[in-house]
Structure formats: C-alpha cells, structure tokens
Structure 1
C-alpha cells in the first residue's frame, strides 16, 4: 500500500526499503503525491507488478512520475521505460468496488485528501485492515470529507499522523482571512505571491478566490495548469467543480518567460509552485518581490524542516546569506490532512477497533497522538520503526 519517495535537505530523493519482488503480489496506491508513488517503478525493472488506484490517481501519477524523472534523473534508480511499465500495469478502480490481489480482497473509499485519494481496506482470512493514506474530514473546494462510515468491519487501522498534535482552524474562517488579506495587499498597491504545491493546494487556493469573486488579476504558474485541466476532465472526483472551472476559465496562466517577467510587476496574485520555495517559478517571483514592503508572500502549504519556507517563518530570511525579508509574510492553514481531533474521530468510527499503527508523521507527532489515542480509546497503539515487522493480530 503506497511506495513513495522523500527528499533530504539537499533535495535529493530518499527511497524506501525494498523487499524481494517474489514477496510482492502488487501495489495499491492511496493517491498521487510523490511521497506515496515516487518509488513504484523500481519494481517494474526486472518484471511487472500490478498497480491499483482510482482513475484520478492513475492519470496524475503519470504526470508526477514524468516530472520527477525530468528533475531528478541522476538520483533515480529507474528510467522512463519503468515509468511507462508502471502506467501500463496500473488498473483504475472505482470507489466502493471490491477487487482481489492474490488472497486479499481490497476496496477503496474516498479519503478526502485530494481528488482521487482513497483509504485502502484489505480483507484477510484473519481480519480487516484499513490504511488511511492521507486523510481529511474537512470538506474543501476539491474534496468531500473522508467516508469513515465505511470502516465498520475494520479491526486494524494504519493511520497517518502528519498533524497528530495539531488542531486546525475552521476552514471557512481561514478562507475569509486569506481573501481579505490578499485584497488588503493588492488594494495597497502590492503583489501577492502564493507558493503552493502544484497538486491540489494551488487548485484549492484558486477555487477559493474564484468562489469569493476576487476582483483583481490572478496568475498561475508551473505544473498547475496541466494538473487543473486533468481534474476538470475527471469532474466526478472534484467536490466543487463549478468554482474550480470558474478559476481555470477566469484566471490567467503564465505561458513562459515573457509572461513571467511581466506578471510580478502587476497588482495581483501569483499562485506558483513549489509550495516550500525549494524551486520552480515561485523562487523567481520571490526574488523579485521580497524587497518591497507593499508586497506579500502568503504560505499555504506545509513547510518542511530546512526548507526556504520554514526559514522564512523562523528567521525571516530565505537562506543564511539572504537579507531580511521586507515583504509581508503570513501563513494560512489550508491543510488537507486531519488534525488530532479528526484523527480521534476517525478511530471512534471503527466499532471493532483492536490495534492502531501510526505512520507518516514526525516522532513527536506519532508519540503525542499515540498517547492521546491510548488514553481516550484504550486500544493498542504502535509507532513502528522503519523496517519493523508488526503482527496485526495476536
């Protein structure tokens, strides 16, 4: 269930542990973000392994893998032929459709994280396991809340803990504060840069501005255009197709360097990848607007440790050599991950819960939420080490 890649402080990919291809029957993918899909082609090098996920996940995974290969080819143990084999081996399945992989019966249900994201429920001869993938109970412009009512037969939950010790603000309040702040900057003669992940966060921000009938120019740059088009072509996976479609039709794509040189001089909003300012066009725009206090950088994505976005929040500087930022800096909580209260709500929706395995979070988050879950639910909680074998049933 998922096979992704993370990045070190030098932005080089870290690949996960590997096992013998003979021990693997196939893969099920929860969603298309690289930290859940980026290593899939490794198991297509010496053979072919089936991959399953939703149609939305399938089409976006291909784009993400191609872009990853283009940007990081020197550090990746596979080539284009393995990406091609991965996509040829990828079978799209619908939410609620039960299918079999070897002896296992598998079902995907909406996880509410991004369009096409899924919880993966696996039936075995000993019991039922659900892997949440990245999950969210807050309805957003892109996604409905996760279908946790489908977890009635589950006894073991493998759960993400990205925000296991954090309580999110109410989404309507965040949206209003964001739009009002953007208007304030633009009406004061400034430009707003919104660094955002190309997949999902950028579309969410654009949809919010479109729904609020934002009256000033909005530009979007990077892979955002292609990924938005794919979402609109698969409208069954988009919660508010109307406002995303309105954003795509109303706002202006940046089509090259000639446009790029112009738009940062305009009074308006630029939504650009990458979300942590580690690369992409957002860095170009940042360098052009950072010295003017009329301008603003509004962060809307998670800022990983030692990234430029995190350094801005902690030090007010892009890096150690940079001067202090003069433009306005503000963070808005547009997270598509459940916070600690929602994670507890998910577990409470599992009437036969026996064990919880916590993954996809910092050590502090896993330990903090694990203690909370033990105290409030009285179930066994495991925060495994990398590579640790976990007996799911005693």
Structure 2
C-alpha cells in the first residue's frame, strides 16, 4: 500500500514539473496579443497593439480626414501590428471627456482644441493670446514641432500623462453677425456674442466692448436662430458645416484667436510600444497633420464661397483696424502671464515677432 502511494506521489510531481515547463516555454515565446511591450524595446515580436482615437466633430471635417490618414498609414506600415479604431461625432464623449480618457488610458489618442487642453495642462493657456498672428503661415511657424515653443511646452504635457505629438489648427476663429457688419472696433460694442467657456476669450471680448455669452457648442445654432445672441466665432469650416451661417447675415475675419489644436497620445501607451512601432506612430501623426492641414486650406476657399452664395457679406479687417483690436485686448496678455508665467508668454511673443 505504501509503495502504491509513493508511485502516485512521483507521478503527481512529474505532471506538475511538465506543466511548469510548458508555461515557461509559452511565456518566453513572446507570441501573445496583450499589447505589452517587450524588455528590449526594439522589436514587437509579433504582438499587436490597438489605438483608439476619438474626436467630437463630424466625418466631413479635415480633422476626421487626418484621423483616417493616420489609420491608413500606421496599419499598412506596421503590417497589421498596429490597429486603429476611429470614433467621431463625440461617440466617446465631449472634448473634455475624451482628453480625460486619453489621460487615464481608456482612449489612446485624440486631436482637440488647446482651449480645452488648458483644463489639463494649464500652460496651454498661452495659446489664448489674442491678435498675435497675421496669417495661418505665421501661426504654424511658431507652433512647428522643431521650434522652441514646442520644445518648451511638451514636457508640461508629459507631467499630466500625455505625449504631445504635434500642434495643428483649423485656421482663425472668424466672426459671424446679425444686424451689424463688423469692420472696426466700434462695431463690436454691445454685440451679444456666443463664445467658449474660456475666461481669457471672455475677457478679450469684454475688452472690445462686446457682451460675451458662453454657450455649449451644440446649442449655438438654436441660440442664433432664437436671437439669444447676435454673433458667434468659429473657424470657417465649423461655421459652414454646423450651418451657423444660415442664421447669420455677415462674416468678418477679425483674426482674433487662432484655432490651435493639440495632437496627443497616452504617454504610458506610447512608452510601452517597441521602438519600431513608436517610430511608425511618430511618422503617422506627422503625415496625418500635414494631410489635415492641406485638406483644410483647400476647403476654406469652398466654405467662403458657400457663405457668399448663401447671401452673406464676407470681409476682413484692415491692418490699421487690426492694430486697434490688438491694443484693446492687450490687457489679456497680463492675465495669461499670471496663469502660465512670464517665460512662456515671452517665448510665444518673441517667436511670433521673429517671423
């Protein structure tokens, strides 16, 4: 009886050892689909990684086209090791919720306005300085990824859990109005204008004599239609695609705030990628941003023509009047200094002046 028990014990130990050996072999093979990076960081060993990307706009805008470009390139170049899922139309929440998702890793990446980004990275409020740029090219020169501003501000994003990939834009926030066509500072006085829930934007409009009213984006059209406000400010793209122009009479490019956007990815996810896949993600974002920018620039002329065809008057502020707008809103710069510090504000201004 004792001999039989010893035999069973030996057999049991042998089985356990075989199981342990098999598990060890599977772990060392690296052929899993968990998305976790390996120890040397140079090769993915066949692992696949899923990138979820979300934004709040429709599929018609340049931003969405940039997302699709990123998906196309990284999936093709990685030969399927990177998979990209794109969620437009606020399917995963508003801009704030999406940025929270990227920060905590529930969403991998996004491109959102820097106006919302300041809620997470306070230093981004430096982008709220009004009347700093005279053209798209001017602003894009300052925001370039190989420039000193990008180098200075990127670490602030990393402290908050984001990897800053690039800045991009939707052009200037143009002003559309009813009743008065804005051609001078005097025309803005008393104007009831819908603006962002952004204290710096609100202060700028008050400095010009307007009555700014923060209204959620999805309520802008109704507010214009019902006369709750006389005016709104958004890029040409959003003004047309959201049909705000249907409830307006005039459009003026007053070159106030440049609609800058931030392309960010969850830092932990980015750092976990093997080196070769990180390089593909870098290249994918660069290509997508360039594609989206070109798409926007080509479409802007179409949007302006839509406004004219609808019967709206379209004009731009003269350089002389632009200087008056700049002078009136200059106190906002001091407010922003108090939020982000002198060094960052001075860097932004010096880069703009050096163009």
TM-score range, shorter chain: under 0.3
Bigger RCO (CA 8 Å, 6+ sep): 2
Bigger Rg, structure 1 or 2: 2
